[in-house]
């Protein structure tokens, strides 16, 4: 994080441990030998030798076989899937086949190099060349695909991974039939393409630029990938556009209801008892955290009653005159997946500048929202709809965190996501049932693990580090003091903290 620059912070050791874990996982993948593939490659090599001796192997067939061995097994095109040879043994066998073909047909060696090898250099640039490592360019060992960042789209990458890891939303998006005529300009189609790649690809990461080209700004221009934006604003705009795109489709209800809830502004006369309420839908619940040490405290303040008296008294339409009243915001309905936006950016009227709140604000793994609902806060005036909503499950479990590190002018977004093996994608490490996947058994009985999605990097995340990485507050770093010629500790504000929280309703309590 930005807070550890210039010295070693508490998170550096954990980062080193995570990097070591990544290397160990990659080594484990490289050590797993595909014996069937190795056997087929060796059989092909023997057949080539026999065919050459018996003069029954045509030169064109040899060239085609070389192309298959090189392009499909060893070094695939950048726009295709990873090569079939993922282990050291299988790559050794493939190179043996290529070598045998080159020895048997030396007159075509230059032609083969020009046709295939030089093409690789043209496609992939000098940085890739023959240093191609299928392990480094493959889907992460934990079983998921990252997102390439071509500039400053970390805000979008972190949010898109959260949406992809929401099974109900992901399935509905992939099942929808896009009515748009031009898929290049369709946000729905590009989101489907991106989700499909994240689900099926064996590559390390997906380039999201086609999606951002279709995701126009407010002036109708493609999103500038070199300009940083706010993750909360991006999410709200994306959900609005997806809802518009699926109007009338069978998946409309599933997509619109996944994150949709309702709040109500209630004004109740203190003496007359007359009630005025104004219901508003929400997809993201924004909560002010300035001056609050926890999410629960911030929600209590968010739903606390505000007296309307004196010059600020309420003009009661029924009474026909101003009366003292209580104004209160209540949650009326909750969605299956609740996204909470922690307002860490605010405008400072003293400096006339936007600033980031780095103060500590904790949040629980398990959240009970019943105390903040209309049926609890205003039971005497609550509607039947509100009472029915309160009777439904109001218990939620944390499944995702979007983190922001940095300042208002310059920063970086990334995500921590809890993988439920009962509902998430079953690919890679998740499908193999790795030991890391069986990290804890939640109240729902589903085995899960936490993962970090940081642009193209996807790696395990230890849940016990959540407080240090997401609550904000102060951090102790060690810096070298020139005067004393020794390392000294300094207390600074953490630049990294949770910006958005994703809670999933618990259905089994």
CA 357 to chain CA centroid, nearest Å: 23
Contact 205, 146 (CB under 8 A): yes
Alpha carbon distance 429, 436 (integer Å): 9
Alpha carbon distance 260, 282 (integer Å): 6
Alpha carbon distance 194, 175 (integer Å): 14
Return the HEC string of 11-54.
HHHHHHHHHHHHHHHHHHHHHCCCHHHHHHHHHHHHHHHHHHHH
Which has the closest alpha carbon to 283: 204, 338, 219? Answer: 338
Q: Are strands 306-308 and 395-406 parallel, antiparallel or unpaired?
A: unpaired
- Residue that is written with structure tokens 């040879």 in the block: 85
Token pair of 189 as six digits: 């189609």
Task: List strand residue ranges (DSSP E) for 34-186, in order.
Answer: 146-147
Contact 295, 363 (CB under 8 A): yes
Alpha carbon distance 186, 244 (integer Å): 11
Residue-by-residue DSSP string for 436-482: GG-SEE-TTS-EEEEEEEETTEEEEE-GGGHHHHHS-SEEEEEEEET
- Residue that is written with structure tokens 């067939």 in the block: 61
Contact 369, 394 (CB under 8 A): yes
Alpha carbon distance 159, 244 (integer Å): 19
Alpha carbon distance 15, 370 (integer Å): 38
Residue-by-residue DSSP string for 262-322: EEEEEEEETTT--EEEEEEEESSEEEE-TT-SBHHHHHHHHT--EEE-GGG-EEETTTTEE
Contact 241, 235 (CB under 8 A): no
Residues catalogued as catalytic: 154, 412
Token pair of 254 as six digits: 């599933």
Helix, strand or coil, per DSSP, at residue 408: coil
Alpha carbon distance 309, 307 (integer Å): 6
């Amino acid at each position: 994080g930005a807070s550890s620059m210039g010295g070693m912070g508490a998170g550096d050791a954990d980062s080193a441990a995570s990097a070591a874990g990544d290397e160990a996982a990659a080594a484990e993948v490289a050590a797993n030998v595909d014996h069937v593939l190795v056997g087929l490659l060796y059989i092909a090599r023997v057949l080539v030798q026999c065919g050459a001796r018996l003069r029954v192997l045509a030169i064109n067939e040899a060239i085609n076989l070389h192309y298959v061995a090189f392009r499909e097994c060893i070094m695939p095109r950048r726009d295709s899937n990873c090569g079939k040879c993922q282990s050291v043994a299988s790559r050794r066998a493939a190179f043996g086949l290529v070598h045998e073909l080159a020895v048997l047909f030396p007159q075509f060696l230059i032609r083969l190099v020009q046709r295939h090898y030089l093409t690789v250099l043209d496609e992939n640039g000098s940085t890739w060349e023959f240093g191609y490592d299928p392990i480094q360019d493959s889907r992460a060992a934990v079983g998921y695909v990252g997102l390439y960042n071509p500039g400053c789209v970390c805000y979008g990458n972190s949010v898109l991974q959260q949406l992809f890891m929401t099974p109900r939303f992901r399935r509905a998006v992939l099942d929808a039939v896009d009515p748009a005529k031009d898929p290049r300009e369709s946000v729905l189609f590009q989101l489907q393409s991106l989700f499909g790649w994240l689900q099926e690809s064996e590559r390390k990461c997906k380039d999201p630029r086609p999606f951002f080209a279709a995701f126009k700004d407010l002036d109708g221009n493609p999103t500038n990938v070199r300009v940083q934006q706010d993750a909360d604003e991006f999410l709200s705009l994306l959900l609005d556009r997806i809802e518009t795109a699926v109007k009338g489709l069978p998946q409309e209800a599933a997509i619109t209801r996944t994150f949709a809830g309702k709040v109500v502004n209630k004004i109740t006369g203190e003496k007359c008892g007359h009630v005025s309420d104004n219901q508003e839908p929400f997809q993201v619940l924004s909560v002010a955290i300035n001056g609050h040490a926890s999410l629960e405290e911030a929600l209590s303040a968010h739903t606390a009653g505000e007296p309307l008296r004196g010059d600020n008294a309420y003009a009661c339409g029924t009474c026909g005159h101003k009366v003292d009243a209580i104004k209160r915001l209540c949650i009326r309905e909750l969605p299956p997946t609740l996204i909470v936006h922690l307002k860490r950016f605010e405008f400072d009227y003293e400096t006339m500048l936007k600033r980031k709140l780095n103060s500590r604000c904790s949040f629980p793994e398990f959240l009970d929202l019943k105390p903040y609902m209309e049926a609890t806060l205003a039971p005497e005036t609550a509607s039947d709809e509100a009472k029915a909503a309160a009777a439904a499950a109001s218990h939620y479990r944390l499944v995702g965190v979007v983190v922001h590190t940095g300042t208002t002018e310059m920063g970086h977004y990334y995500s921590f996501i809890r993988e439920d093996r009962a509902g998430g994608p079953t690919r890679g490490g998740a499908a193999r049932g790795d030991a890391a996947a069986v990290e804890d058994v939640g109240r729902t009985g589903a085995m899960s693990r936490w993962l970090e999605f940081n642009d193209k990097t996807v790696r395990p995340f230890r849940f016990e580090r959540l407080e240090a990485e997401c609550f904000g507050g102060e951090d102790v770093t060690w810096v070298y003091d020139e005067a004393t010629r020794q390392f000294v500790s300094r207390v600074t504000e953490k630049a990294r903290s949770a910006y958005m929280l994703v809670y999933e309703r618990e259905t089994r309590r």
